[in-house]
Each structure stands twice: as C-alpha cells, then as structure tokens.
Amino acid sequence: MVCAEVRTRVGAVHDRSRRSATGHRTRFLLGAAALVTAALAACSSGTSSNPPPSSSALTATAESQEKPAEAAKSAAMNAFTSLLQARDAAAHDPLARDWEPEIRKHAADPAAYAAVESIRRYATLGLHQVGDSKIDLQVTGVDLAAAAGPTVDISGCYDSEASQVVRTDSNETVAPGTPPRFTWLITVVQYESQPGQPWLVTDLDPRTDQPC
C-alpha cells in the first residue's frame, strides 16, 4: 500500500503499470520512475502501528472455521487416547488411589462406568496390568448435528498381546481369553453444555467375535 506522502509526490505521474496478480511492486514506466522509486523506498521504511496477525493465528482460525469435521475427529481421537492412558495407569496400580475422577475427565457413562468397574475388579481380585494397551484407530463417522452433541464414531483394532494381566501376589499371567487382535467400536461426544465443552468417550464396545 502506498502512503499518503508518496501519493502526493507522484500525483503528476499518470501512466503507471497495473499491479501483477502475484502482488509484485508496481513499476512506473515514465521518466519520473526515479522519483517514484525513491519515494516508495522512503515510505516502505516506516513502521505500521497495526501489525497483521501472525500466519499461525490466521491458519488456526481458518482451520477451525473451514474444517469443523477435521477438528472434531482430532478432538475425539485425543479424548479416547487420554482415556486409554488414564485407564492403563489405573490398571498398573489399581490400589494406588480412587481412579474414578481421573477416568471421568475423559469419559462419560456408560464408558466411564465400565472403565471404573474394570479397575475395581482388578483391585478386588488382586490383579494388575503389565505394559500399555495398543489399539489402531480409524474414524468411521462424524455427525456434528447429532442430538446428543457433535459425535464421532471410531473403529479400533485392539492388540490384546501388547499388555498382560498378572496376579499381583505371584506375577502369574492371566490368560486373556480373547483373540490376539479384535475390534473395538468407540463413540465420542462433545458435551457442549459443560464448561470447556469437553469431548468425552461415551461407548466402548469390544467385539471379540470380530478379529482384525
């Protein structure tokens, strides 16, 4: 953009070339080009009192506005991953503390209830988990207008051999009783009425009859 001072100094120059489509600097083709160039150089040395937003901020805003489905997918995957990590931490040491508040940061019923009960069952039976869960995830559906709130469906292939359940008193491994790899169906919902509008896992449906 040409500043007001430069516009005044070059007002007598009528024949100027159009700006190019790529935004290169205007070139003046008359004999007064030297004067105009000097004026433009002086103008460009000034500082703007209103710097433009950073490119990263513009990109983040554009992505959130133009790709809500992609943002929902990412948020849902993060919610499930966080739940899995919390559940693994609880399964490693079921008696360490009450794990329900931590699990409910990432899940709502019935998924939260199922996860909490599995940890309590470990504690009651004297079991704990060794290793971390491994599951390959793929988003299978996004419904931003669902009645319960924006909803993302995920299919996971769970590797039951990535971790083991052992008896705490003897370290004896407990047979899983499931195929080495089987399908999980997962639902994640955004709770828009809650503070922070969190994405919470609502359903965990292990399909042991569906190997993957």
Quick check: bond before 110 cis, omega within 30?
Answer: yes
Dihedral (CA of 88, 89, 90, 93) sign: positive
CB 107 within 8 A of CB 201: yes
Q: Using one digit for the tens of pLDDT, what is the confidence trace for 111-131?
A: 999 999 999 999 999 999 999
Question: Is the per-residue pLDDT at 171 higher than 60?
Answer: yes
User: How far apart are the C-alpha atoms of 192 and 148, rounded to whole Å?
Assistant: 9
Instruction: Tell me the residue type at 193.
Output: S
Instruction: Tell me the residue type at 88.
Output: D
Q: Report domain extents, the chain.
A: 1-61, 70-211
Higher pLDDT, 94 or 44: 94
Assigned CATH topology for domain 70-211? Nuclear Transport Factor 2; Chain: A, (3.10.450)
Residue reference for tokens 């159009």: 18
Residue ranges of alpha helices (H) inside the chain are: 4-9, 33-44, 55-66, 68-92, 100-103, 111-125
Percent of the chain clearing pLDDT 90 (strictly above):
67
